[in-house]
Amino acid sequence: MSSSSYHYAQSHSYKSHPEKLVNEIRIIRTEHKDYGYRSVTMELHNRGIKANHKLVLKIMNKHGLLCHAFDWKTRKYNSYNGNVGKRAKNKLNRRFITDRPF
């Protein structure tokens, strides 16, 4: 590590998030299972706690409190519709299912 990076890290205090805010977010998430960070932010504002949505998202990410109820499931495109149309009758009496090779 370079000395400038070391001294920069020493001079800056890395603050932790306020425990009151973290506990309040936990309480909101236990009351409302389907609240994401936006809804939690609005609920915090309703309870008189001012917090930025970015901070709420950061705290919820760090403590594993994010909502996964509305995650979209992505799939590959598949246009298969099953058997479409009518099958022709076996007029030539061909054997389409066999019990031996060739």
pLDDT band at 88 (very low <50, low <70, confident <90, very high): confident
Q: What is the pLDDT of residue 84?
A: 86
Q: Which whole number is the average pLDDT over 62-66?
A: 93
Q: Which whole number is the average pLDDT over 52-80?
A: 88
Q: What is the pLDDT of residue 37?
A: 95
Comparison of pLDDT for 1 and 54, the residue scoring more: 54
Q: Which tens digit of pLDDT belongs to each residue from 24-56? A: 999 999 999 989 999 999 999 999 999 999 999
CB 59 within 8 A of CB 25: yes
> What are the angstrom distances between the C-alpha of 51 and each of 21, 22, 32?
8, 11, 18
